[in-house]
Amino acid sequence: MQTRTLGQGLQVSALGLGCMGMTGVYGASVDRSQMISLIRAAVDRGVTLFDTAEAYGPLVNEELVGEALAPVRDRVVIATKFGFDIDPATGQRGPGVNSKPAHIRAAAEGSLRRLGTDHIDLLYQHRVDPEVPIEDVAGTVRDLIAEGKVRHFGMSEAAPTTIRRAHAVQPVTAVQSEYSLWWREPEKELLPTLAELGIGFVPFSPLGAGFLTGKIDQTTKFDSSDFRACVPRFSPDAMQANVALVDLIRSVAVRKDIAPAQVALAWLLAQKLWVVPIPGTTKLTRLEENLGSVDVALAAEELREIDEAAAKIDLQGARLPQAALDMTGH
């Protein structure tokens, strides 16, 4: 497995593993023992970055990841997140975000306990709290780093101006946001900011929550417990328009004799050397397929061809429900 370097010298595998979907976000939860085996299979194949959060479950995803990685704790980077109004003891979730310093500390202690570790390698603020100065948030994480409980500070779905303010207090190692051929908004302001500040970028939903794999179309029916059932861009009308992007990706895949998902991930990896996507999966075959993208080389001419063709496609539908969008970009 190739490696890449995020901010502050943090070295990780070129592709990480997003673990959110292992505890039910895409419908019913998958067998726990199978997910532990899958995480360990990822380690065996060279993956070193594993992404979780207290909000996933809530709480149970961290327990799963912690148990799976306990035998190889010294070989991996565990990333988790705070920032929603969740009771770290009970999992009871409030209506919004919470990055008050005392809450950050309680969340970090809860994560350490559930992960079964004495330190968190990369601690993200999951969503910016407009009620708490970002300097106070960064200062609290800085203190946790000084205490040895956290090693690196990350931010998720934050605006460039907010990232700059936080970075001035505690250097930011990585920023998470959605980024793929289906959602390229980060290219306008976020990526240039990260390049300037020396911060790594960890795209989530690099396969468009499964859409870019070519396995989903306007006839797909989502279970009511699957979050995609209420996402505008997964409505039948939107997908009917957006399938043009999948057709483009598939055409490249056929020509190179690889899977569409590998084209989508290879495109992301080709954007910047400090971009580390974290596709999620619950299947070993998909894990191996995704990891194969690291060895896919897209020539400059192929990248240009993809960009030019994608620019002509009028993509439809918001990437998240409005309530979720309201929590981003602060």
Residue numbers of the domain that contains 285: 3-210+273-294
CATH number for the domain harbouring residue 34: 3.20.20.100
Is residue 205 a part of any domain in this protein? yes
Q: What is the pLDDT of residue 27?
A: 64
First to last CA, the chain: 35
Closest C-alpha among 58, 65, 54 to residue 19 = 65
Task: Give residue 155's identity as a one-letter amino acid code.
Answer: M
Coil/strand/helix, residue 330: coil
Q: What is the pLDDT of residue 236?
A: 85
Task: Assess contact for 78 and 69: CB atoms under 8 A.
Answer: yes
Is residue 56 a part of any domain in this protein? yes
Task: Give residue 113's identity as a one-letter amino acid code.
Answer: R
Name the catalytic one among 26, 56, 124, 179.
Answer: 56
Coil/strand/helix, residue 218: coil
Task: Assess contact for 282 and 35: CB atoms under 8 A.
Answer: yes
Provide the sign of the torsion angle of the four alpha carbons 321, 260, 39, 45, taken in this order: negative
> Distance (Å, rounded) from C-alpha 314 to C-alpha 292?
30
Task: Assess contact for 125 and 156: CB atoms under 8 A.
Answer: yes
Is residue 266 a part of any domain in this protein? no
Is residue 115 a part of any domain in this protein? yes
CB atoms < 10 A from the CB of 295, how many?
A: 12
User: What pLDDT tens digit does each residue of the chain (330 aa) get?
Assistant: 999 999 999 999 999 999 999 997 666 668 999 999 999 999 999 999 999 999 998 999 999 999 999 999 999 999 999 999 998 888 888 889 999 999 999 999 999 999 999 999 999 999 999 999 999 999 999 999 999 999 999 999 999 999 999 999 999 999 999 999 999 999 999 999 999 999 999 999 999 888 888 887 777 887 777 778 788 888 888 888 889 899 999 999 999 999 999 999 999 999 999 999 999 999 999 999 999 999 999 999 999 999 999 999 888 888 888 878 788 888
Find the length of the chain. 330
Q: What is the pLDDT of residue 211?
A: 86
> Distance (Å, rounded) from C-alpha 181 to C-alpha 29?
28
Is residue 195 a part of any domain in this protein? yes
Q: Which is it for strands 49-51 and 17-18: parallel, antiparallel or unpaired?
A: parallel
Tell me if residue 56 is catalytic.
yes
Is residue 203 a part of any domain in this protein? yes
The total of structural domains in the chain comes to 1
> Distance (Å, rounded) from C-alpha 85 to C-alpha 77?
25
Is residue 121 a part of any domain in this protein? yes
Is residue 235 a part of any domain in this protein? no
